[in-house]
C-alpha cells in the first residue's frame, strides 16, 4: 500500500522534471505577464531564444526558460586521457562568464581536488542513507523532500563554482523511487546555473541514469593512440542508446607531441568525428600532480590552459 502511495504521489508529480515544470507552468503562466519579470525577459532576449510573448499573451513554456538558463557540457573518454584535467580548466574558464555547477560522475571522485575544493558527501552516500527507511521517517518530512535537502548538503559551494560528486552508482538494494527523486533533485539544482560541466567516469551510462538533462556538448577525449580514438568512437555510437539527448559531439586529442600521426587522423575522419582541438603535453602538470596542487594553479601562459581556452572558443563557449 505504502509503495503504491509513493508511486502515485511522487512518480507522477515530482519524479519527472519536465512534467513538473509543465504542470507548474500550466498553473501559473497563463496568468503571468513575462514583462513583469525583467531579468527573465532580458535573459531570454540575450540568449536569442525567439520571440517574447506580448503582454498577457498567455501560456509561456517554462522549459524554454530553463533551456535559456543552463548549458550542459559532458566530458567522456578512455581513462587517463585528461577528462578531469580538461573539465577543471574548462570550468575555470566558464566561471568568468557565469555560475557553474561541476558534476563529478566518476565514482573515484577527484574533480574536487583538481578544482581545489573539499568533498565530504556524495550523491551515492545520500542514496544509501535513504535505504534506512525508519531513520528517514523519524525526520518527519516526506522522503523526496528529505532527499532534496541532503543533496543540497552534499553540494560543495565555493564563490566561483559549486560541485556535486555522484559517488558510487546504485547498488542492488536500491529502490527505484529513490532514484527518481534523486534525478529530480539534481535536475532542479542544475537549473540554477548558467553552465553544468559533467566529468564522467569513461562513458556516460552512469550519469545518464541520474539526470534527465540534455547535453549541449559532449566532449570526447582521447590520447594520440588508436585505442583511445576507438574508445571515443564507441562512446559516440553508444550515445544513441542512452536516454540523454546530445546536441553536439566533438573530439579532443590530448598529450600530443609533434602533430597528430596520420593513422590517428584517418581514424578520426573515418569515424566521422569532429576534431575540435589538439592539446599538448604540459610539463607543468607533473609538478602539480606531485605536489597535489589544484590544476587551476597551472600558470596562465600554460600551453594546455591556452589550448582549452581555444577549444572553448571554437565551441562557442566564450
Ligand atoms: N596535456 C597533459 N600534459 C601532461 N599531463 C597530462 C595532460 N593531460 C592529463 N595529464 C595527466 O594525465 C593523468 C590523467 O589525467 P586525468 O585528467 O585525470 O584523466 P581522466 O580524468 O581522463 O582519467 C593525470 O596525471 C594528469 O595530470
Ligand atoms: Mg578523471
User: Which pLDDT tens digit goes with each residue over 233-277?
Assistant: 999 998 888 878 899 999 999 999 989 999 999 999 999 999 999
Position 54 scores a pLDDT of: 46
Contact between 144 and 16 under an 8 Å Cβ cutoff? The reply is no
Does residue 285's CB lie within 6 angstroms of at least one atom of ligand 1? yes
Position 128 scores a pLDDT of: 85
Please report, to the nearest 10 degrees, the dihedral formed by the alpha carbons of residues 181, 184, 187, 192 taken in order.
-100
Cα(85) to ligand 2 centroid in Å equals 7
pTM: 0.80
Position 28 scores a pLDDT of: 63
Q: Is 255 left (phi over 0), alpha (psi -120 to 50) or beta?
A: left
From 82, 103, 109, the mutation candidate for ligand 1 (largest count of ligand atoms within 8 A of CB) is 82
Position 55 scores a pLDDT of: 41
Position 261 scores a pLDDT of: 95
Domains and CATH numbers, the chain: 16-64 (no CATH), 70-314 (3.40.50.300)
In the predicted model, residues of the chain with pLDDT beneath 50 are 50, 52-60, 66
Contact between 213 and 105 under an 8 Å Cβ cutoff? The reply is no
Contact between 217 and 187 under an 8 Å Cβ cutoff? The reply is no
| 4-18 confidence digits (pLDDT tens) | 766 665 555 556 666
Position 7 scores a pLDDT of: 66
Which amino acid residue places its CA nearest to atom 17 of ligand 1?
Answer: 82
Cα(185) to ligand 1 centroid in Å equals 31
Position 49 scores a pLDDT of: 54
Which amino acid residue places its CA nearest to atom 16 of ligand 1?
Answer: 82
Which amino acid residue places its CA nearest to atom 14 of ligand 1?
Answer: 80
Amino acid at each position: 500500500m505504502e509503495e503504491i502511495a509513493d508511486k502515485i504521489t511522487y512518480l507522477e508529480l515530482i519524479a519527472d522534471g519536465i512534467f513538473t515544470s509543465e504542470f507548474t507552468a500550466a498553473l501559473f503562466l497563463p496568468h503571468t505577464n513575462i514583462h513583469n519579470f525583467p531579468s527573465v525577459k532580458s535573459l531570454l532576449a540575450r540568449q536569442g531564444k525567439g520571440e517574447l510573448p506580448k503582454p498577457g499573451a498567455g501560456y509561456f513554456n517554462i522549459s524554454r526558460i530553463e533551456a535559456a538558463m543552463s548549458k550542459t557540457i559532458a566530458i567522456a573518454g578512455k581513462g587517463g586521457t585528461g577528462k578531469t584535467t580538461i573539465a577543471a580548466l574548462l570550468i575555470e574558464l566558464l566561471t568568468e562568464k557565469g555560475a557553474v555547477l561541476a558534476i563529478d560522475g566518476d565514482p573515484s571522485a577527484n574533480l574536487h581536488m583538481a578544482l581545489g575544493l573539499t568533498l565530504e558527501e556524495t550523491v551515492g552516500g545520500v542514496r544509501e542513507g535513504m535505504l534506512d527507511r525508519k531513520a528517514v521517517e523519524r525526520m518527519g518530512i516526506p522522503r523526496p523532500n528529505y532527499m532534496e535537502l541532503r543533496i543540497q548538503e552534499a553540494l560543495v559551494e565555493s564563490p566561483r563554482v559549486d560541485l556535486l560528486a555522484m559517488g558510487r552508482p546504485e547498488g542492488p538494494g536500491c529502490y527505484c523511487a529513490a532514484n527518481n527523486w534523486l534525478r529530480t533533485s539534481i535536475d532542479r539544482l542544475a537549473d540554477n546555473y548558467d553552465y553544468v560541466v559533467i566529468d564522467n567516469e569513461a562513458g556516460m551510462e552512469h550519469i545518464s541514469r541520474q539526470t534527465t538533462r540534455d547535453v549541449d556538448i559532449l566532449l570526447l577525449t582521447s590520447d594520440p593512440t588508436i585505442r583511445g580514438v576507438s574508445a571515443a568512437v564507441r562512446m559516440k555510437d553508444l550515445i544513441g542508446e542512452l536516454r540523454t539527448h546530445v546536441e553536439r559531439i566533438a573530439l579532443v586529442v590530448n598529450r600530443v607531441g609533434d602533430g597528430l600521426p596520420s593513422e590517428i587522423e584517418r581514424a578520426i575522419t573515418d569515424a566521422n568525428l569532429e576534431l575540435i582541438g589538439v592539446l599538448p603535453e604540459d610539463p607543468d602538470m607533473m609538478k602539480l600532480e606531485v605536489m597535489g596542487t589544484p590544476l587551476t594553479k597551472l600558470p596562465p601562459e600554460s600551453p594546455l590552459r591556452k589550448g582549452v581556452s581555444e577549444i572553448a572558443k571554437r565551441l562557442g563557449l566564450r
